[in-house]
Structure 1
Amino acid sequence: MEPSMFSALIFLLFLVDTTLSLTPDGLSLLSLKSAVDQSSDGSAFSDWLDTDPTPCRWTGISCMNITGFSDPRVVGITLSGKNLRGYIPSELGTLVYLRRLNLHSNNFRGSIPSQLFNATSLHSLFLYGNNLSGPLPPSICNPPRLQNIDLSNNSLSGPLQKDYLKNCRQLQRLILARNRFEGEIPAGIWSDMENLIQLDLSSNELTGSVPDDFGKLKSLSGTLNLSFNHLSGKIPKSLGELPVTVSFDLRNNNFSGEIPQTGSFSNQGPTAFLNNPLLCGFPLQKACKNPGQSSADSPNSGPGSEKSPGKGLSPGLIVLISVADAAGVAFIGLVVVYIYWKKKDDEDGCSCTGKSNFGGNEKRHLCNLCQLCSCACINGGFGNEDSDSGDPEKGERGKGEGDLVAIDKGFTFELDELLRASAYVLGKSGLGIVYKVVLGNGIPVAVRRLGEGGDQRYKEFAAEIQAIGRVKHPNVVKLRAYYWAADEKLLISDFISNGNLASALRGRNGQSSSSLSWTTRLKIAKGTARGLAYLHECSPRKFVHGDIKPSNILLDNESQAYISDFGLNRLIEITGNNPSSGGFMGGALPYMKPVPTERSNNYRAPEARVTGSKLTQKWDVYSFGVVLLELLTGKSPELSPTTSTSVEVPDLVRWVRKGFEDENPLSDMVDPVLLQEVHAKKEVLAAFHVALACTEPDPEVRPRMKSVSENLERIGT
């Protein structure tokens, strides 16, 4: 008998005379109290009294009435993050109705007792973040309902035995990362794990090849993480059979050969395969050599190339040459047309290359005509590379009288029209004051004041503006024009009529009075995800927003979401001034008291809060996940004096994660407004899983926004 078991039994025998009223479950729990070092923080056990009739009021203990028993039975133990030192007693295995054991983030040492899995009702086992050692217990999969195993961040070792894991058929999450497991990953068991959602074997000492039957994990979502091991051989093509939403993390291994190009592989970025020196092929920038072909074997060399002179060119090659010739002629024609219109621009003061020369001169009617006619503009509309904004001389002109430059060639108005327009302040932040301006034709626009400096850096400013101007997506606010002068820089964009998501969720005064339906919230989440995925994957600059939060998600009257404020940090850096200070265009627009700004930003990713960290797309993924959690829970992560304390959760991500780990009812976490839509329960749960994947602490584990958007699009369809 192990010394730990012997001491626990002596302790129980000692208590027999004084604990006759305590239930058997309570006696088993006292073994845990005795197994914890007295030097630990004992406050967790301060109310664990042997004189109580049941342990159901003890800290960290959950009970439930079970048919056939007069006393409630223990179903949950949650003592995470208590700095407890000691060992896990085998007596916990006598708690036959125990469903969840949550002892993570403590200092428990020793091995995981095999008897623990005599608790046949065990559903979730969270022991990560301790100092546990030894191999996996052979009985680990004995509980028939076991769904969640997280043993990461320990010192567990030994092989992953096939016989130990083959019975884990109900498993949904198997997380064994950051241990010392060694040997090969067992094959022939994964096709039976039909419910497995998450698999993380990273940061161990595993060797050998990846099992082919990993491709049978049809329920897998998020990231298949095998990084930081010693795995070798070719990456099996069967992984391409995994759902397209699954991301791979195969970094820092010894894989070799060509990366397969089928199925799910087409959605993977280069990060998934880094630090595998012998790996080649897309998406890595390392071409694969064909060992079977030399210069002598080339189809256009050697004696064989002269044996069939009568065959001539193949039909496909002839078509290809013809198409190339046609393209060349078309290109020359476009160049001629462009030069012609460029000359006309210089002569008439009007541009068909995407710009109008705003100002009061006698040729203004020619510009209007040029805007309306269907002339052959080469790069008209968004982001014209050859427009005035790219003119090297423009930097000098910017020092004098200001220039109002239209980015969208179909959007025309005059500078004096902007000066005369009525306006009022919409808001004020570190990115400038935003005004609503109603033009003479009755069309409202949003005007953002960037500041007064940066007159020597016009070329940089124009390049950034052009990149922003090329962004055209239904869920991204469209930039229409900009004003440049030595003492003023303005951005003119579409005005979105129904405020922002922060106001929609929290009310105008910060009080939670939102009645947004689940259908509306899901629509907002999907639209925002589509816009972000476009910025990340399809925009010319592959933008990173860097500041996703509800106040930067605008809504129209149909609750369509629009992402605003992307690309502004760089523009503020160029102008070099505080945009929140000073007047506005000589005081032409009235200055009103701005709305209060948010005091903190808990939407930012953990790594984004480190000074000097490099901006990445995974920042946006995390921030979007927090926004999605706010849509689901109705609780704000912002610490703001205007936020109602009844809905304020300083660490919203941790609060939701703990709720899922403790298997709290969904009704405890979801916004009460949504409880009225009973039919949406499955959809809400699916959205929670998307949000939790987005807010993973490790940025490499988070999915790409493209995958996030695809997952959300499946909800409710």
Structure 2
Amino acid sequence: MARYDTRWPLITAFLITLLSIVAVSWGDPDSDVLLKFRASLGNDGALYNWNASTNPCTGNWVGVKCWNGTGKIWALQLEHMGLTGFLDLDTLRGLPYLRAMSFMNNSFTGPMPNIRKLKALKAFYFSNNRFSGDIPDDAFVGMGWLKKVHLANNDFTGKIPTSLQGLPRLLALRLEGNQFEGGIPNFQQKNLTTVNVSNNYLEGPIPERLSMMDVSSFAGNEGLCGKPLESCDFRKFLLELIMIILCILIAIAIIGIVVAILRRQGQTEELGKVQVEGNQKASCEGDKVERGVPPQMPGSGRKAENGRLVFLRDDRERFDLNDLLKASAEVLGSGNFGSSYKAVLLTGSAMVVKRFRQMNNVGREEFQEHMRRIGRLRHPNLLPIVAYYYRKEEKLLITDFVENGSLASVLHGNRTPGQPGLDWPTRLNIIKEVTKGVAYLYEELPSLIVPHGHLKSSNVVLDESLKPLLTDYGLVPVINQEHASQLMVAYKSPEYEQHGRTTRKTDVWSLGVLIVEMLTGKFPASFLKQGKGGSDEDLVSWANSVVKQERPEEVFDKDMGETKNAEREMMKLLKIGLCCCEVDVEKRWDITEAAEKIEGVRERDKDDGFYSTFASEGDMISSKGMTEVDLSVL
């Protein structure tokens, strides 16, 4: 009889235990890594479908790229999402197949992330953020697979890391729009086809290996020389010549001052009268300051030679910056983003020039591409951008001048005695036309979470027939995130104030506020300052309470004049506006539903006094959940 081996039960038990441990620990490590990474980000609302209940690849997580059929993550593309905070790459070490990542056009801050932790990386794109400080010289040591490095339009300082020279597979290097100084490393990679170091503070000779690059790759660096720029020998000669000329001019100036003092001592001082014509047009910089025109228009100073007006419309006359400088000008106003000027060209055409200083985080290429996208929009209720000007410190947007000014000035500005306000039919038509313009933006700009982003009465202008034209639309991607969150209307919405995010229904909220403003004749911002209805009550809340208490005589603007046989339709539109302001985003209408309901409002009440019902029972809770709005008449 064979002897029983007592070791087998022990071995079997050990294997079962080991398999149990493996089975328990078997999960979705990629999902855990990405969720941990998301937790380190700020303003992460764009990553709405990143959750533990789905797999990153099969669940189509936003911005996650996977190898087909393998379930392995090879890239992260998180662009134009408004992400903030410091970029911590430690967590991403848990993605062994990660080969590329792009965090372009966000608002990340802090020093250069430690990219060496991801040694297998082949490409990364960090352009158009707010990274700052010096990049360590050894930042790229050991990254032999790296092919593309994009760090453009940040605030990096110091010298360009020499460890970039040691990347054997480097194909593209984008460093433009920073504050790098010193010389350009002596790049020798044979496959290096793209290098852009423009608009920095670099100096010295351009390496011979880069001499065949386009001249625009080195523009904006006053100290650089050598091909494709002017030769270094000529630059040295030119500097010496300039120094000699300056010395001569200083000597002449000193002699002139001495002579003038001697002459003055021998003369009596005479006072003359200066006659100034009131209608004389300004012809010097000092005159322009008095008339509100900035003393130094864009186009002067460092890097100005790179700037020019770029036209987006083929049906407008062409002019340049010099024409704007010569134009008769007046200040139209100063808003959150800068000043606006009316410029009357020598040909008689009147243009509006709006200066933006809160766009300096966006790079030239990104800005130009977005402007081309905006320039392709065509709708009768959009005021088109005729041309633009790019400089890193500021941007100009140029539009046609519209004679009647903004809707805000017509509603709330001072009128001459006897001048009537906007009547009910006109206000209804303006609201309908504005809604059509907003709906068109939603249709044509599907990739933007908030296609307008800054909808308010001062951003609606009225032409000679009182047709409304939307302005300042589609600018959220090119406005600095920190300024956008402080100044733009979309970031005053309930969802942003409560949850720190905007949604595809945020512009609907802005539209609702505009409707309430037009029907009540009250300016939302000043209403808050006046504190009507209680210290915590804003315009929408106040209108809500009036509707609940059935006191319509208190809510509607008296300047609308005679509204007989229109009260029910006016109340219908007011309730539509309040529903557009619903705090709960899930309950708030989308733009399509809001547009349908607004289009159904008539100028006069029906004789029978009954209307079709649009709203469901779930729609009958008003904004902020405080009062019930009866939508049975909708």
TM-score calculated relative to the size of structure 1: 0.39
